[in-house]
Amino acid sequence: MLKLQKGKAIIDQHDKHYLYGGKFGGNFVPETLKKPIEDLTQLFQKLRYDKKFIKERDYYFKTYVGSPTRFIKLYNLSLHLEGAQIYAKVVSDANGGAHKIYNAVVHALICKHAGKKYIIGDTGAGYAGKMLSMAAKKFGLKCKIFMGTKDMARQKVNCDAIRKNGAEIVPVDSGSKTLVDAVSECMRYWVSNCDTTHMCVGSTVGPNIFVKICAWSTAQISRELKVQLKEEFGEIPKKLKLINCVGGGSSAIGFWNEFMDYDKKQVEFIGVEAGGPKNSKLHAAPLTYNAKLGVLHGAAQYVLQDKDGQISETSSISAGLDYPGVSPLHCFLKDTKRARYTVATDEQALEAFKLVSQLENLRPSLEPSHAFAEAIKIAPKLSNDTVIVVDSCGDALKDKKIIEKRLGKLIWQH
């Protein structure tokens, strides 16, 4: 069985081919991208140990992102479920309304340090794109966002925001017209323009360096949480469960990073993938449903595919989770058994949204609603000295139309 190393950041636990556990990740890229990726790898390696750069990052995380985000107890939900104590890390407090801002800010800073004026990125739910356009505006960079036309239709609120920030949206009308095609198109654009343009991958996917930068950026979430847990409990609770939704897996890695070395009996990681519509065979849950190892967007990972290696179509109510693959880091965490993965269906996520938003002053977007669904499922069975923390990594404003359609307009009146 694969093993995690203690005392070493998970992003650095790869071999010389940048593979985690000898099989996940790597750089399966066209020759043209080898050099830009190598340059970026070297630059990031230098910057991440540069005190000045860290100071710069922390400055913008504090003054621009708004760190730390709140850590709150969900009293009503805990009372209602009569089991574990449920908390939320309200990452959606961050500027822009989701965790994607951490990665976006770091990429914009790197882009500046690389002396490049153009930045491009992919987006599914529109958050990664919105945040990148914000960061680009903040740091004076020209920005293009690649987005599937299906996602553009269902996440119009974020599209408007992207354009308002002065970025251009490049509609991607090929294949399933969602995130997977947006990432492909963005990579193609980078192949053609890598001499002048910096690429940001919106999650912990893609060639190794993008997995690293993204996980390194979102780790801010668990750095804050660790302090907040100690403030609340005086120590890290003896029975702690950290529940996070997993699409590409960037928020989950960030939410768990600082707790990797804890015994899983003390700090359990639960990743919740998109189970798709209740009565459909389609989903976006490669880990839960044991998808085969394959190569997608430059990295080896468990990915939904057919026998011939064609990537399968996925379905989820949540655009942010609608991706056939998953971060190599999560594949590694699955195989080392450090984290366990499960699914929530579209309907369960909607029910969870309904319950949480009715009982609490919190409106998690459809992505974290998947995580809440799992919390709601397991909390009643757990002792009341168990602490569940759900990463509420996005705000539901962007999902207003979908939620109204499925749950009725009255849902917003609480």
| Two structure tokens written together for 141 | 């960079």
Which residue, 8 or 34, has its beta carbon nearer to another protein? 34
Omega of the bond leading into 68 within 30 degrees of 0 (cis) = yes
Q: Work out which of 26, 129, 202, 276 binds another protein, going by CB under 8 A.
A: 26
Give the residue with the Cβ less far from another protein, 311 or 375: 311
Q: How far is the CB of 323 from another protein (least distance, A)?
A: 11
Q: Does 336 bind another protein (CB under 8 A)?
A: no
Q: Is 292 in the site for another protein (CB under 8 A)?
A: yes
Output 194 or 333, the one with its CB closest to another protein.
194
Among 121, 129, 298, 394, binds another protein (CB under 8 A): 298
180 binds another protein (CB under 8 A): yes
282 is a site residue for another protein (CB under 8 A): no
274 lies in the site for another protein, by CB under 8 A: no
User: Residue 4 Cβ, how far from another protein at the closest point, in Å?
Assistant: 24
The minimum distance between CB 179 and another protein, in angstroms, equals 11
Q: Does position 305 bind another protein by CB under 8 A?
A: yes
x/- mask, another protein, residues 135-174, rule CB under 8 A, reads: ---------------------------------------x
Is the CB of 328 or the CB of 364 nearer to another protein? 328
Q: Which stretch binds another protein (CB under 8 A): 30-38, 105-113, 139-147, 278-286?
A: 30-38
Q: What is the number of residues in the chain?
A: 414
Q: Which is nearer to another protein, 28 or 59 (CB)?
A: 28
C-alpha dihedral (108, 71, 331, 237), degrees to nearest 10: 140
Size of the site for another protein (CB under 8 A): 37
Is 117 a binding residue for another protein by CB under 8 A? The answer is no
Question: Considering the rule CB under 8 A, would residue 33 count as an interface residue with another protein?
Answer: yes
CB 356 within 8 A of CB 285: no
| 30 lies in the binding site for another protein (CB under 8 A) | yes
Selected from 170, 295, 359, 407, the binder of another protein by CB under 8 A is 295
CB of 248 to another protein, least distance (A): 15
In the list 28, 59, 75, 233, the residue contacting another protein (rule: CB under 8 A) is 28
Rounded CA separation 282/274 (Å): 10
Q: Which of residues 194-213 bind another protein (CB under 8 A)?
A: 194-195
Question: Strand order of the sheet with strand 19-20?
Answer: 19-20, 24-25, 299-302, 293-296
Region near another protein per CB under 8 A, out of 94-102, 216-224, 238-246, 290-298: 290-298
Footprint on residues 35-94 left by another protein (CB under 8 A):
35-36
Strand-pairing partners, residue 344, are: 274
Q: How far is the CB of 63 from another protein (least distance, A)?
A: 37
Q: Contact between 291 and another protein (CB under 8 A)?
A: no
Region of 160-168, 182-190, 224-232, 233-241 interacting with another protein (CB under 8 A):
182-190
CA–CA separation, 311 vs 362, rounded Å? 36
**310 binds another protein, rule: CB under 8 A:** yes
Q: Residues interacting with another protein, by CB under 8 A?
A: 17, 26-36, 174-175, 180-181, 184, 187-188, 191-195, 292-298, 305, 307-311
